[in-house]
Amino acid sequence: IDRKQVKVGDQDITLMLWDLEGRDGTRDVSASYVRGAHGIIYVADGTRPETVDQLGELTKVVVDEIGPTPSVVALNKVDLKDDWKISSGQEASAGGEGVHCLKTSAKTGEGVEAAFHWLAQQTVAPKGS
């Protein structure tokens, strides 16, 4: 568990982060992890296509538990261009309908702040915006 401060306009937003530690599949995702969440960041490994394939199941578990929620998929490891194995079709459909998708790199920081900022904007936006 960690915190992330993000500024949206003149508002300081504190995001509480729960890392599910790269678990494979959805059987280990307890409803208690997502209950009360106002936004979700899913992280998939751009060098492992199966991690993108699992997002569909994971987003269904989340939606079934808490309903439609602002969500972003961070397609991580974009810095490993020679090892990137995600097709443009997988990129476009990662996470499913209504899920924002960004390429990121935890190593270089590329796209990481953009993912947090996008999610924070969505959580403070008036419903229907």
pLDDT tens, position by position, 81-118 = 999 999 888 888 887 877 899 999 999 999 999 999 99
Q: What is the pLDDT of residues 2-36, one digit of tens each?
A: 899 999 999 999 998 887 765 555 555 667 778 88
Three-state SS at 76: strand
pTM of the model: 0.85
Buried b (16+ CB within 10 A) or exposed e, 30-64: eeeebeebebbbbbbbbebeebbebbeebbebbbe
Cα end-to-end span (Å), the chain: 29
